[in-house]
Chain A
Amino acid sequence: MNAHVTQDPATPTRNLLARIGTGHLVLAALLLAYPLVSSDFFLTQIGGYSLIFGMLALSLSLLAGYGGMVSLAQISFAGVAGYTVAIFGENNSNILGFGWPWWLVMPLALFFAATSSALIGWVSVRTEGIYTIMITLAVATAAFYFVRQNYTLFNGFPGYTGLRAPIVFGVNFRDPVPFYYMCLVAATLSYAAVLYAARSTFGLTLQAIRDNPRRMRAIGFDVTAHKVVAWFYAGLIAGLAGVLLVWFNGRISPGTINVAAAINVLIIAVIGGLKHPIGPFVGAVMVVLMQTFAIDIVGAERFNTLIGVFFLAIVFFSPDGILGLWGQLRQRLAQEDLRSRQ
């Protein structure tokens, strides 16, 4: 992972608006106004879905970008949250389903997701670098086979159905517009939290650990603890996305958390770019749009080949994803500009 561009935290910030930045404000306005112009299909299938997968990829990006740990198990943590919702909430499958209210189930789901993430993180930070990918891939695959085999707890192959978003204060979150806004709020919170954390003492320490763990250990930082805490935060975001995902699908099954899904999250993060927390969301929009419309072009059958080729092209030609491409373009334009001035 390359170094992140972190702005000098010492810069005094005058007011809230300046601190948020014009780009973010414009983006927020556009996203808030999006339901006014889009159909229900575009609202949930594209908008909501992109935001959910953007959050999943963000949780990976948080680990990979700031911590140098590429995890393929984020979808598994989302699955932990999703299955928690299914088991402790209500479902149609007549198995378990304790029927707890959403305000109890949701924190529990997030807690389980974050704890499992921290546990896996604790195991995988014992090794370094490329090992993390292998261990987390093994974890993701094992999790998939386990939930498929186990019927007593996870209802095996069919999984759970009939998982619905709650109705709160008369607002039915199953409807497209409330659901979209719920996803938007969750995604914005996650995004802001990552941005904030990146500039906090913890975030800076984490980035320093990524760049030189030995030196950080030598000057007295607990390297393992910082990494595990990063995993915990990533698990929280993945868990939040997982809860939204089961509400979006209305169901959860082993297919939701299979290896293809795990790799999908990585693809989204890499296509978008791991350098900045906005990258995962850009990648998610790209991939979701491709998933939705490429079927009309290449047919549903060969969709994976298309996305695979696209992914390979990104990895080969722009290691920093779409964002990196944008950066390269801007640099080149700046150079052209200089040249023309001479």
Chain B
Amino acid sequence: MSIADAPKTPPGSAPGSPGTGITRRQVWGLFWLVLAALFIWLVFADWPEWVKNILLSKKAFLSACLNGLTLAGLYFLVASGFTLVFGLMRNVNLAHGSLYLLGAYIGYEIADRTGYWLLGVLGAFLILSVVGLLMQVVVFRRLEGDDLRQTLVTIGISIIAADLMLAVWTGGTYQILIPDWLAGAIKLPIVTAVRSNGSIVLLSYPFFRLVVLALAIVIGIGLWLMLNKTRVGMMIRAGVDDREMLSASGTNVHLIFAVVFAIGAGLAGLAGVIGGSALSVAPGEDVRYLLASLVVVIVGGMGSITGAAIGALIIGLAEQIGLVYFPTYGVVLTFVIMVVTLAIRPQGIMGKSQ
């Protein structure tokens, strides 16, 4: 994949394979460096003919990369909640896609009625947090320690939720309108072509999508800081590693669970509004984003925010680049990435081996 995920990996935060020696690390460093150089060259250079022959046009390639990046941002927002919940509670929340879709619908309603898009984002986050809290307290606490039944329950919830949402919002497609200050396209300082008269053509790109990317990065950093620098985060990380010990050392584990579930569900709702604004809201999106979360988390590693970021980048870029270069086999690419990850590193890129 691209080098773009190299800077996102905080060095030393999650040692991949301890004790493999410095040389192997250097080889990988060199590999990423070369890849980065190649990518930078692709972005800024005037493409010679043979590159165009392989990669179509520079505009198509760069658009695919940017779309992949923004999609990765969206996937990260959805998957980060999923991975947090799984890492801590060993609870595969297969209703996560439903939370996403519900957030999108709620955001649409709020934004549509009040006229404030930001209010929609905030409202969806808060309402979905409460929904997540209720799910944890009412449902999952009763089935604690029974992974399979918890998962089955989330399947049941997702079926009912999808059906009820279909009843309320019907099968139509909604578009959440973004405010004017976020709309429109901006020109990026990247030359895509030089006209015959010598004037240059800059790459223009929807501003909102860049905002999505920025938001994902900000939230990602925020989550990372929360997990690594705060007391609650410390407890969550301890819970991921050993739930029983955390409980035994006097922490109210259920409170932590509830907090994490609320954050996870809230993030899914927030992502719903963002995704509904950048793309659209329709029945069936829940399955799509559930699949995205599953694959992102399988590839990135369970319970790791950094892993979710890396996984989202890989899957987002693969999906968009696949869409441009081999349209009917795009899904297969995602699938192949998943299988290869499982074959080489079953616990995911940043996952800890059990």
Question: Interface of A with B (CB < 8 Å)?
Answer: 1, 70, 123-124, 126-131, 133-135, 137-139, 141-142, 145-146, 149-152, 259-260, 263, 266-267, 270, 301-305, 307-309, 311-312, 315-316, 319
Contacts and interface: CB of A to CB of B under 8 A. Distances in A.
B339 interface: yes
Contacts of A304: 159-160, 162-163
B163 A302 contact: yes
A142 B342 contact: no
A63 B332 CA distance: 25
Given A123-B342, A130-B92, A259-B287, A312 B156 contact: yes
5 contacts: A70-B151, A124-B342, A137-B291, A142-B332, A319-B146
B340 to A, nearest CB: 10
Contacts of A139: 335
Nearest to A313: B156
B111 interface: no
A22 B263 CA distance: 56
B330 interface: yes
B159 A263 contact: yes
B218 interface: no
A134 B146 CA distance: 16
A127 B151 contact: no
B331 A127 contact: no
Contacts of B297: 134
Contacts of B329: 146, 149-150
Given A149-B328, A308-B160, A70 B148 contact: yes
B298 A135 contact: yes
B338 A307 contact: no
A141 B287 contact: yes
Contacts of A303: 163
Interface residues of B, number: 43
Secondary structure call for the A interface: helix
Interface in B248-266: none
A127 B294 CA distance: 14
B167 A301 contact: yes
Contacts of B290: 137, 141
B331 A138 contact: no
Contact of A319 (B149, B155, B164, B167): B149
A142 B334 contact: yes
B211 interface: no
A150 B322 CA distance: 14
A135 B153 contact: no
Contacts of A302: 163, 167
Contacts of A126: 342-343, 346
9 nearest A-B residue pairs (beta carbon): A308-B160, A304-B163, A308-B159, A312-B156, A126-B346, A141-B291, A142-B335, A145-B331, A305-B163
Contacts of B354: 128
Given A123-B339, A138-B291, A312 B157 contact: yes
A309 B160 contact: yes
Contacts of A301: 167
Given A126-B346, A309-B160, A312-B156, A134 B331 contact: no
Nearest to B323: A149
Contacts of A141: 287, 290-291, 294
B232 to A, nearest CB: 25
A285 to B, nearest CB: 20
A303 B92 CA distance: 25
Contact of A150 (B146, B152, B163, B328): B328
B144 interface: no
Interface centre among B90, B148, B291, B295 (most CB of A within 10 A): B148
A138 B298 contact: yes
Contacts of B160: 304-305, 308-309, 312
A301 B142 CA distance: 31
Contact of A307 (B151, B159, B330, B347): B159
Given A142-B332, A146-B331, A316-B153, 14 more contacts: A126-B343, A129-B147, A131-B298, A133-B94, A135-B298, A137-B294, A138-B298, A139-B335, A149-B328, A149-B331, A259-B287, A304-B159, A305-B163, A316-B142
B166 to A, nearest CB: 8
Contacts of B159: 260, 263, 304-305, 307-308, 311
Interface hub of A128, A135, A142 (most chain B Cβ within 10 A): A142
